[in-house]
Structure 1
C-alpha cells in the first residue's frame, strides 16, 4: 500500500515515484528490459533499484549518504569568525557601529582568518549559533530608589488591591497618558488597496497637515477608553481629560478613582497629585516608577491605535485625524475586553532578584579583571 502511494502520490518526489514504479513493475513479473522501455530509464538503473529494494525494502529506495565535497573551511576558521562577531567593531578598530555579514567577511579576510569567504557563509555560521550582531537591544539601570514599592502599588491595583485590602465595587482604576505628535500626512497620490499578489501601496511622499496630541484614559477593569485630542500636551490638557472622566458616572460618585500615570511633565510628582485631589477629592494619583511606563496599561491601547489607526499615516488634515480617533474609540469600546495582565508582584520580585544577581556577577568579573 505504501509502495503504491509513493508510486502514484501527487506529493511524492519525482525520483521516489520513478523508483517505486520500477519495483511495482517488477512485482508484476516484468523483465528489466521491459521496465526500462516503459519507464524510459537505463537498464542498469532499473537493475540497481530492484536490487536495493530486494536488500533493504522501502528504505533502500532513498539516496545513500554521500561524503560530498571537501569542506572549504575548518572548524577553527568558523570559530574565529564567530568570535569576531561577538566583539564590538570599535574594539577591533573598524569604524562601524554594528557588524553586518559583508563587513565580517571582509574583516575575516583582512585578518588572515581565510583567503576568501562570502557573506552568505558568514550568515549561515552565525545562524547556527543564533548570533545576530546586526541587531541590538537597549537596556537601562533602575535609578528610582522606590522602584519596587511604586511598581508593586500599580500591580496591586491591577489585581484590585490597595494597601492590602480588596477594592470595592465603587472603586475604579484608570490608566492615563498622552500620545504626542500624531501627524496628519496627506499622501501626494492615493493609497492603493491590496490586490492579487500585491500588498497595499502607500505613496512615500506626503504633505504635512500639522500634528496634535492624543490623550487617553483607560478603565483597567472595565476596558473602557476615554480620549480627547489637544493641540499640545501639558497640565491644562491633562486636567481636561481628568474632568472629562470624573464628571460622568460612575466615577463622579465613586468612593475612589485611582489614576495611574507615568512621570511625564503633565502629571509629575506630589504637586500633580495634590492638584488632582484638590479638584476631585475622590481621585488618587499613583505614579509608575521612573523609566517604567511599560507598567501603564494605556500604553497597550496606544500601541493598538498606532497599528490600526495611525499607521500608515494618510490623513488630509487634523480634522480627519480627530474624527478617526473618536470613531475608533467608539468601535473599540463596543467590543473591548480587559487586557490579560499576567505580570504580578511575584514576577516583579523574581525580576529584581535576577537583576541583583546579574549586577553582583558583573562586579565580581570587573574586580577579577582589575586584580589581574
Structure 2
C-alpha cells in the first residue's frame, strides 16, 4: 500500500494525536502498518484487533482513501413521532394555556408533554423530548417579557425632547455650561422589616443568611432628583407621595448649588403630581422650570432616575433588614453621600434614531394587526 506525503502526515496525526478519538486512532494505525508492508495477521497482533477488522479497514482505505476511515451514516432507530405530531406540539406551545382551556399561566415542558398525551396527539412523550423539539425553533413558552403599549399620540415628540436633553440639546440648540437636566421620580413603599433573628454575615462557602420572618416597622416614600450629566442625586424621605412632597423635592433641588432658586425664580413653571388621580402616571410628568436670564435652566424628567432607583434597591434596600424607619432614612442619606462621591454618568445609548426605528417597527406591527382584525371581521 502506497501513501502520499500528505496522507502519511495526516495518518500520523490521527494515530498519535492526544485529542484523536480512539476508533480513528486505531484505524489510522492499521493503515500505517499496512503501508510498511506488514501482513494482516501481524497487524492484528500488534493492534489487538481481529484479522477481519484489519482486512476491512485496509480495504476501505484502498477504495476510498482518508474519508473512508470515518463512520458511515447509519439508519438509526425509527422515529417514534411524525413531523405532524412535532408541528402540533410546537403549535400548542405557541398558544396561551388559558386559551386552550388549561388553568396555567405559562407552559413548561412537563406540562406540555402531559397535555400532548392527554389530547391524544402523541403517545407517552418525555419532557426532554418536548424540550428538544422546542429548541429547534428557539421556543421558550415558560419565559415572558412585559411591555407597554404607547397610547399618547404625542409620545414621539415628547420622547425625542427627553433624548435630546440627554445629549445636551434642547430645541435644536446645545445646552450651555450653566444648564442642567434633572430626572426625578418617587420610590414608593420602602418598608422597614425587622427580622425576628439577626442577619448572619457571609462566611467561607456560605452566603449571607437573612431570617424569613419579620415584623413590619412601617413604610416611607423616597423621592429623588438625579442630575443626568453630573451624576448627582438629591433625595428626601416622606411619609407618603403626592404633589406637596414632590414640590418639596423641587425646592430642595433648586436650593442646591449649582441650581440656586433665585436663578430659576424668574421662569414659569408647570406642575403635575407624580401620580395621577386614577393611579396612572401622567404622560408629561414632572416639573419644567426655565429661566429667562443667563442662568440655569433645570428640567425635571422621569427617565434615568429609574436606573438610579434600581441601584438603590440592590445596594440599600435588599435584603430588607431595618429596625425602624429612622434607620431606613439614615441609610438612604448615607448612600446618597457615598454615591455622589464616586458616581459617573450613565452611558445612555438609546438615541433619537433608535427611537424612530422602534416606533416604525411598532407602527408596522400595529397596521398588520389591524389588517388581520379587519380580515377576520369580514370573514365573519
Kindly indicate whether the alpha-carbon contact (under 8 Å) linking 2:274 and 2:286 is maintained by their aligned counterparts in 1: no
> Counterparts of 1:318 and 1:26 in 2: how far apart (Å)?
86
Q: How far has the Cα of 1:224 moved from its partner?
A: 2.6
1:220 and 2:233 are equivalent in the alignment: no
Runs of 5+ consecutive residues of structure 1 not aligned to the other structure: 289-295
Shift in CA distance, 286/242, structure 1 to aligned 2, threshold 3 Å: closer
Q: Does 1:116 align with 2:142?
A: no
Bigger Rg, structure 1 or 2: 2
Query: Cα distance 1:143–1:29, how it changes in 2: closer, same or farther (>3 A)?
Result: same
Cα RMSD after superposing both structures: 4.0
Asked whether the equivalents of residues 188 and 241 of structure 2 are also in contact (C-alpha less than 8 Å), the reply is: yes
Aligned residue for 1:128?
Answer: 136
Contact kept, 8 Å, 1:171 with 1:254, in 2: the verdict is: no
1:354/1:270 Cα in 2 relative to 1: closer, same or farther (>3 Å)? closer
C-alpha distance in structure 2 between counterparts of 1:232 and 1:121, whole Å: 53
Deviations 1:16-38 (A, max 9, x none): 44444555555666655555455
Q: Aligned ranges for residues 216-365 of structure 1 at < 5 Å?
A: 216-252=224-260, 264-265=274-275, 273=287, 284-287=298-301, 296-314=303-321, 321-322=328-329, 324-365=331-372
Instruction: Note the alpha carbon deviations across 1:291-344, whole angstroms, 9 max, x for none.
Output: xxxxx0121222233334444445565566555545544454444332222222
Kindly provide the CA deviation profile for residues 78-106 of structure 1, in whole angstroms up to 9, marking residues without a partner as x: 11111222223333322323322222222
Gap regions ≥5 residues in structure 2: 1-8
2: CA distance, partners of 1:320 / 1:200: 24
CA contact (8 A) 2:272 2:285 kept: no
| Distance in 2 of aligned mates of 1:10 and 1:330 | 59
Name which of 167, 170, 178 aligns with 2:175.
Answer: 167
CA spacing shift, 1:263–1:101, aligned 2, 3 Å: farther
- For 1:145, the equivalent position in structure 2 comes to 153
TM-score, length basis structure 1: 0.78
Cα distance change on mapping 1:57 and 1:347 into 2, 3 Å: same
CA contact (8 A) 1:172 1:256 kept: no
8 Å contact kept, 2:160–2:352 = yes
Q: Distance in 1 between matches of 2:207 and 2:50?
A: 52
**Change in 2 beyond 3 A, CA 1:11/1:232:** farther
Q: Which residue number in structure 2 is paired with residue 193 of structure 1?
A: 202
Q: How many residues align?
A: 360
2:101 to 89, 93, 102: 93
SS of residue in 2 equivalent to 1:63? coil
Determine the C-alpha separation between the residues in 1 that align with 2:332 and 2:79: 59
Q: Residue in 1 aligned with 2:81?
A: 73
Q: Compare 112-121 and 246-255 and name the one that shifted more.
A: 246-255
SS in structure 1 of the partner of residue 104 of structure 2? coil
**Cα separation, partners in 2 of 1:27 and 1:310, compared to 1, 3 Å:** farther
Q: Does the C-alpha gap of structure 1 residues 74 and 176 become closer, same or farther in structure 2, counting only changes over 3 Å?
A: same
TM-score (norm 2): 0.76
Structure 1's 52 and 151: CA in aligned 2 closer, same or farther, altered over 3 A? same
Name which of structure 1's ranges 230-239 and 250-259 shifts more when overlaid on structure 2: 250-259
**Equivalent-residue separation in structure 2 for 1:193 and 1:35 (angstroms):** 63
* Secondary structure at 1:343 match in 2: coil
